[in-house]
Structure 1
């Protein structure tokens, strides 16, 4: 709800100041965010919204970086003279056994080149993942745990203050 209000207020501010273009809208969004951050010192709900917005931005930037790294890794595997891969299906135990969170995590994994979410077993809490190169399965599970940790930090930011990115 706060995000919608923030977005509409940004558009209204940019349009009212005569900057009705993307740059003006982003500037107004940032200015209203800073105002929300300052006012959030006294209003806990506004502070939680600002923290959620920050974690969401950092998650998106981190995830884009992960996609670029995975794209480079897959391209280097494909363009190598000798293709040396060890594809495998891994079972990853999720921290939170929620079908919605598992679906979101699976969709994000499928966006990452070289990985594909296959199935989620809700009774055991295992997410089955196909990895293109699983010569070191601990690297794959480390990436999965980091993705899950950052995603849960973002999703839980509006509920509590003590979550760190």
Structure 2
């Protein structure tokens, strides 16, 4: 909750310093972020906040790129003269078994074109995913591992030291 209050306060302050102009607001927001980052050297709470913001922006940009790549892949499959797909249901072992984290992971997978989170088995820690085209299972599991790693790094950025995106 304090993260949202800080983010909202920073955005309002950045907007007012930027006199309502988008460029000035972004510049003021960047300066406020750099100030928080510099003060974060002395204040651990600001350091965690800045690191969480960095991980969040990094994750969002990476995820948007993955959605565009998946959209392009599904579009090429659909628009091909001969549709050649191998749909499959994959059982993915999640790293962390907390229901909220698995729910968020499943929701993000469902947002990605060509994949759908079907079910979660909490006893075995398996998330069942339907993939439209699973001809390259290694690529599919690599993307799942990377998605989970980046998501957990963002969620844990404000808690632990030394987590890398």
TM-score by length of 1: 0.93
C-alpha distance in 2 between matches for 1:111 and 1:27: 32
In the alignment, what sits opposite 2:97? 97
Query: Contact (CA 8 Å) 2:14, 2:26: kept in 1 or not?
Result: no
4+ residue stretches of structure 1 with deviation over 6 A? none
Q: How does 1:60-99 map to 2 (within 5 A)?
A: 60-99=60-99
Shift of 1:31: 1.6
CA RMSD between the two structures = 1.4
1:4 is displaced (CA, Å) by: 1.6
Deviation (angstroms), 1:3: 3.9
How many residues get paired? Answer: 164
List per-residue Cα deviations over 1:30-86 (Å, max 9, x = no partner): 221110001011111111110110010010000000001000100111111111000
Q: Is the 8 A contact 2:18 2:28 kept in 1?
A: no
Runs of at least 5 residues in structure 2 that lack an aligned partner in the other structure: none
Q: 1:42 aligns to what SS in structure 2?
A: coil
Q: Secondary structure at the residue paired with 2:135?
A: coil
The change in CA–CA distance for 1:140 and 1:9 in structure 2 (over 3 A counts) is closer
Shift of 1:29: 2.1
Rounded to whole Å, the distance in 2 between the matches of 1:138 and 1:11 is 45
Q: TM-score, normalised by structure 2?
A: 0.93
Distance change >3 Å, CA 18–CA 88, structure 1 → 2: closer
Give 1:7's aligned residue.
8
Unaligned runs of 5+ in 1: none
Distance in 1 separating the partners of 2:115 and 2:98: 21
Question: What's the CA shift for 1:9?
Answer: 3.6
